[in-house]
Structure 1
Amino acid sequence: MRPLREMDTEEIRAMAVRGGIEAAHEMDREELLDALLARPGEGAWQEDPKPVDVNPNDYRFEAPERRPR
């Protein structure tokens, strides 16, 4: 997937509409970008300049009754 800033305005608008951003049809390009980038945790929409330090998949959860004592 291309970075948001390289996408066509209509592609960005379609993504915003699918993501449930209200009034996406009336927003200009900068408003759409601000709305999409301001939503943390939205997968491809979130631009993160640095890699994650901790991978949650490295840890295995065990239910309390199964933990060794």
Structure 2
Amino acid sequence: MNMHKHIRLTPLDRQKLWKRYQTRCWKVSQLAERFRVSRPTIYAVLKRARLKEFFPRDSANQRFKTI
């Protein structure tokens, strides 16, 4: 697994975020404030967490894969 050096949410953070969201005690705005990311980022993480994907994906950009 390759992670970018400026990644904001590690896989462990993504799992914590998902568990806190599942307890229904935390709202999206509270999670965004707690993990210091934007609300659209939280929504994207939650969307992928529903599919049980907690690791960042590899780049699909073929041009930069060849570098």
Instruction: Tell me the TM-score normalized by structure 1.
Output: 0.24
The structure showing larger relative contact order (alpha-carbon pairs under 8 Å, at least 6 residues apart) is 2
Q: Give 1 or 2 for the bigger CA radius of gyration.
A: 1
Instruction: Tell me the TM-score normalized by structure 2.
Output: 0.25
